[in-house]
Amino acid sequence: MSAPLHEARPAGPGRALPDTQQGMRRRNLSRVLHTVSAEGPLSRAAVASRIGLTRAAVSTLVDELIRSGLLEELGPERPGRVGRPGSALAVSGNGPAGVGAEVGVDHLAVCAVDLRGRVRSRAVRHVANRDRSPEPVIGDLTELVHRVVAEAEAEGLWPAGLAVAVPGLVARDARTVVRAPNLGWQDTDLGALLPARFPLTVANEANFGALAELWLGEGTPRDFLHVSAEIGIGAAVVVDGRLLHGNRGFAGELGHVPVQPEGPECACGGRGCLEQYAGEDAVLRAAGLEPGEDRVGRLAGRAEQGDAAVRRALHDAGTALGIALTGAVNLLDPESVVLGGALSGLAPWLLPALRSELARRTAGPACPVSVSALGPEGPLLGAAHSVVRGVLDDPAAVAERA
Ligand SMILES: [Zn+2]
């Protein structure tokens, strides 16, 4: 089963389409907004020709979107054109904003992104969340959310929703963290802990990372595997531009694919999982470095200086990633593999072994492996942009809430 994440939001008033005419209007509002978002600034006439509706029909829809604060007129187009000058339309820079948040093992981050995709406000706090209970962690996160929302509101934006990326399995209700082994959380309803004033979506950070890659990456294919490697290793499978969720929504747990069936015990209850070889903790252990702050920076620094133990640890992690990814690539035949997350900063030392393992073991020609340009920012941006995409997909629902 697959569905875009923003479809998993709880149904709000008016989300059901009562009749086909109403449904048609909602779909057309979305088509106009998507077109202006992707190609704007555009005149009404240009929008009409792009989506194949009459100019009169488009004008009615545009007026409604302007009243709702989702579109704005930039003023008359350049003179010298044939016919009555039209006003160029753009998505509003001061309308709804998507608020994205990330709960990391050792940081919390929140940002607000406007309809034009610009990050308008941002807050990060470094804090060791491992084995902290959910209440104080979400309390700290709520503080950051309030700070970011206040800044966004001071600029004239209003939050259309909150999306939270977590390093764990999330139930299909898109608010309950079923299990986050590196945080020690189990069956935690984040909806009960976060401010109720925003429509909420909670999802695995690897899923949001993959969506960010799909929406913001340069030339990202429609079929790819996104690996989000940090302390835990998650992956997301994107098929034809949509996330593959799996039966319970748990698809993509690459970190718990066994690399050595009799290897060391893992927090998941298994043995020899990929995380035990290529997760940040495992790499630090193998490299003989202490855990603590700036782990990736320290590993990269040592590797650059030619530290043999660090380079060997990264080579071995790349090999383990290659072995685990071989199964996924042989099974799914993606167009490419994208390496994201904090460990993407170690790509120069991980990739050679990863690529050679994949090439050696996959059935067809080697699957290309690239490094995400978004790096560790991917999940946070994907979360915020998922709210923005939700607005573009159903502007009528947002206007009703505004
Ligand atoms: Zn495991």
Residue 282 alpha carbon to ligand 1 centre in Å: 12
Neighbours of ion ligand 1 (CB under 5 A): 256, 266, 268, 270, 273
DSSP codes joined into one string, 74-95:
EEEPPTTSSSSPPEEEEE-SSS
Listed in sequence order, the residues at least 6 apart from 238 whose beta carbon sits closer than 8 Å to its beta carbon are 210, 213, 214, 222, 223, 224, 225, 226, 244
Q: Which residues lie across from 239 on neighbouring strands?
A: 242
Q: Are residues 151 and 26 in the same domain?
A: no
Q: Are residues 264 and 361 in the same domain?
A: yes
Residue 271 alpha carbon to ligand 1 centre in Å: 6
Residue 250 alpha carbon to ligand 1 centre in Å: 14
Question: Which pLDDT value is given to residue 10?
Answer: 38
- Tell me the average confidence (pLDDT) per consecutive run of 10 residues in the chain, 402 residues long: 41 52 91 94 94 94 94 73 68 95 95 97 94 94 97 96 95 93 93 91 95 92 91 92 90 93 90 94 91 86 95 96 94 94 90 95 89 91 97 89 68
pLDDT (tens digit, 9 = 90+) per residue, 313-344?
999 999 999 999 999 999 999 999 999 988 88
Q: Are residues 241 and 349 in the same domain?
A: yes
* The total number of structural domains that make up the chain: 3
Nearest alpha carbon to residue 83 among 122, 118, 46: 46
Q: Are residues 222 and 362 in the same domain?
A: yes
Residue 245 alpha carbon to ligand 1 centre in Å: 19
Q: Are residues 132 and 252 in the same domain?
A: no
Distance CA(111)–CA(120), nearest Å, equals 7
Look at residues 45, 64, 91 and tell me which one is the last residue of a structural domain: 91
Q: Are residues 222 and 369 in the same domain?
A: yes
CATH number where 27 lies:
1.10.10.10
CATH number where 252 lies:
3.30.420.40
CB burial of residue 188 (10 Å; 0-12, 13-18, 19+):
buried
Q: Are residues 206 and 227 in the same domain?
A: no
Question: Which pLDDT value is given to residue 292?
Answer: 78
Distance CA(156)–CA(150), nearest Å, equals 10
Distance CA(252)–CA(236), nearest Å, equals 5
Q: Are residues 86 and 127 in the same domain?
A: no
Question: Which pLDDT value is given to residue 78?
Answer: 56
Question: Which pLDDT value is given to residue 131?
Answer: 80
Task: Give the helix ranges, DSSP H, for 121-186.
Answer: 134-154
Q: Are residues 133 and 51 in the same domain?
A: no
Look at residues 51, 76, 91 and tell me which one is the last residue of a structural domain: 91
Residue 153 alpha carbon to ligand 1 centre in Å: 42
List the domain range (segments joined by +) for residue 170. 96-210+379-401
Residue 231 alpha carbon to ligand 1 centre in Å: 12
pLDDT (tens digit, 9 = 90+) per residue, 238-283?
999 999 988 888 899 999 999 999 999 998 889 999 999 999 889 9
Residue 264 alpha carbon to ligand 1 centre in Å: 9
| Sign of the alpha-carbon dihedral angle for 144, 146, 150, 153 | positive
Q: Are residues 260 and 166 in the same domain?
A: no
Q: Are residues 63 and 184 in the same domain?
A: no
Residue 317 alpha carbon to ligand 1 centre in Å: 15
Q: Are residues 351 and 228 in the same domain?
A: yes
206 and 195 Cβ atoms separated by less than 8 Å: no
Distance CA(36)–CA(40), nearest Å, equals 4
Distance CA(219)–CA(313), nearest Å, equals 32
Residue 11 alpha carbon to ligand 1 centre in Å: 34
Question: Which pLDDT value is given to residue 23?
Answer: 87
